[in-house]
Amino acid sequence: MAHLRDCKAWQDAGLLLSTTSNEACKMYDAALTQYVTWKNDNSLGGLEGTFSKLQAADPNFLMGHVIANGLVLIGTGSSPRLDRKLDGAIKKMVALSQSQPLTEREKLHVSALELFANGQLPKACDTWDQILQNHPTDLLALKFAHDTYFYLGHQTQMRDSIARVYPYWTPDIPLSSYLKGMYSFGLMETNFFDRAEKLAYEALAINQTDAWSVHTIAHVNEMKADLKSGLSFMKQTENNWKDSDMLACHNYWHWALYFIEKGDYEAALTIYDTHIAPRCQFSGTMLDVVDNCSMLYRLQLEGLNVGDRWKAVNQLTKKHAKDHILVFNDAHILMSSLGAQDHKTTDELLATLHEVTQAPDEDHELNLVPKLGLPLLKAFVEFDNGNYDKAVELLYPIRYQIVEIGGSNAQRDIFAQLLIHAALKCKSKANQKLARCLLLERDELRPNSPLTERLLRKTTALHALG
């Protein structure tokens, strides 16, 4: 770990932490660094070890509770509605915040997490942005907002939240180069590919192990269907990012996507079996889980039999079937239960989703379920049952709203592919024609995509048959 900041260093940075323990301040810095660099520091026992050292140094250090609880919430792997321990930790943090003198900034951190825990994601982001107006170098507020905007599909906000503070991040501030990677990701998601790439390369020139900047470049090549650049970039940089254990699985997923695009399914499966599946089984994190589901489902759409691989993934996903934290997660958990032919989990997921949306209150995601979540999930079920016309009927009207369930453009492409495949498999001429229209549109946006070309050839064959 680089030089970790003590009480005075944080105060000098204008980010006073309410504790007298230098060790607690340093462990807060260590946890923040691991979060921003996507990498567990094994010398401290990873994030887990860091949090127990932090807790031991000052059990009442509020920002210690904030970062620990925040990372559990942002991981979206457990729901405060169902997870007693998490719910208790949030309540304890709130009680603690009311029993000691704090800065305004620290109080706002607590209310942002309380909002997030209640499913009020947009309001949580507003609160983090409020912190950043007065404290533009509060990296925790910045990163929590960045990740939450991502979950909301608020791509412009994700970009602008960084743009507003970017000029304040001078090179002398610890971790400042990581701002370039975060900013570049928002630029890429809003189609400023050249600026995004330039910033990501600037970040990598400062620190070649910046896995998030690697990830932006992986996205740019994906969006341009530039397979040659994409494949050679991942291969050349692999040693720099493969130890960023929180993001490595996802970067390997991007690598495998190029092979799927190319039609080299064996190469994609090799990356899956060697890097993606083992990392997911080891970590069990939601990011790794959705990547596994998405990868297998894409290969299946391409006509590949993925064998028993779904069963292993389903073992991880089925325990999340009742969480209903993000519609995006639910869609991927459903891919897995359908893939493993686990009807019990499929039914349970849909039934409990129906239940929790009866009283959605101010939960942002639950309010998306009737108009977006259920049609999307039902489309997967109908497709799985061979009711392709029904799948198109459910998916087509919501295709421009799907961005609201979050994830990146590359991740959500699976829903666009599902619609195209469903339309291609329809008996109705109108839907077959629709498939061709969607593919022509796709071809305009990502010229030279071999995947698009393969599917266009299918529509030509259908037309010849018709």
What CATH number does residue 171 fall under?
A: 1.25.40
pLDDT for res 466:
65
> Which of 155, 175, 195 delimits the end of a domain?
175
Residues 298 and 167 in one domain: no
- Number of domains forming the structure of the chain: 2
Whether 161 maps to a domain, the answer reads yes
> Which of 132, 159, 175 delimits the end of a domain?
175
Whether 357 maps to a domain, the answer reads yes
Backbone region of residue 412 per phi and psi (left: phi > 0; alpha: psi in -120 to 50; beta: other values): alpha
Whether 279 maps to a domain, the answer reads no
pTM (two decimals): 0.97
Domain residue limits at 136: 1-175
Beta strands in 138-251 (DSSP E): none
Residues 8 and 154 in one domain: yes
pLDDT for res 287:
96
pLDDT for res 465:
75
pLDDT for res 462:
78
Residues 142 and 288 in one domain: no
Q: Are 37 and 178 within 8 A, CB to CB? A: yes
Residues 148 and 297 in one domain: no
Residues 6+ positions from 205 with CB-CB distance below 8 Å? none
> Which of 116, 150, 175 delimits the end of a domain?
175
Copy the structure tokens of residue 215: 């990830």
Residues 165 and 290 in one domain: no
Whether 366 maps to a domain, the answer reads yes
Backbone region of residue 417 per phi and psi (left: phi > 0; alpha: psi in -120 to 50; beta: other values): alpha
CA dist 308 and 255 (Å) reads: 22
Residues 6+ positions from 70 with CB-CB distance below 8 Å? 113, 116, 140, 144
Residues 165 and 309 in one domain: no
- Per-residue pLDDT tens digits for 346-387: 999 999 999 999 988 999 999 999 999 999 999 999 999 999
Whether 48 maps to a domain, the answer reads yes
- Regions of the chain where pLDDT drops below 70: 1-2, 466
Whether 235 maps to a domain, the answer reads no
Whether 355 maps to a domain, the answer reads yes
Whether 245 maps to a domain, the answer reads no
pLDDT for res 100:
93
Residues 10 and 144 in one domain: yes
Interior CA angle at 461 toward 460 and 465, to 5°? 115
Q: Using a CB cutoff of 8 Å and minimum separation of 24, what contacts does 103-106 make?
A: 103/16, 103/18, 104/134, 105/15, 105/16, 105/131, 105/134, 105/135, 105/138, 106/17, 106/18, 106/62, 106/63, 106/66
Copy the structure tokens of residue 141: 């507020």
